[in-house]
Amino acid sequence: RIDVSLDDRLYRIRLSRAPGIEWGTDLSFSFVYVRDMEPTGQASLSGMVNKGDQLCELIPVTTKPGDVAKPVNLLGASFDFVMTSFASLDRSVSEMDLVFFRGSKDELKQP
């Protein structure tokens, strides 16, 4: 689980499974970021998510008693891996906690 307190450019937000985000990548098809947002989508309406923010982590919000959702590290992950992670969420998952980095891929890669 990413500790968002380590860098003020990291933030966690709970969004619906269909957040209204169009995802993009660089030419290597990795480092998935927010390419665009539907103006009436939850991500845009939250006022927190910006175009260009890098996706770092996904945690499904589970409502099943006793279930503990495991974080999925998406830092530098391929586009296919990220999309498969979203698509393979259990049908009972309607919300997810996402961690974003507000900055460029190069800034994110710096130690």
Residue 111 has pLDDT above 90, yes or no: no
What is the arithmetic mean of pLDDT over 35-55? 97
d(CA 64, CA 21): 26
What band does 109 get if pLDDT is binned at 50, 70 and 90? confident
The pLDDT tens digits for 23-41 are: 999 888 999 999 999 999 9
Name 31's Cβ contacts closer than 8 Å, sequence gap at least 6: 25, 54, 76, 105, 108
What band does 61 get if pLDDT is binned at 50, 70 and 90? very high
Could you tell me the pTM of the whole model? 0.93
If you average pLDDT over every residue of the chain, what do you get?
Answer: 93
- Which amino acid type is present at position 44? S
pLDDT score, position 22: 98
Share of the chain above pLDDT 90, in %: 82
Residue 63 has pLDDT above 80, yes or no: no
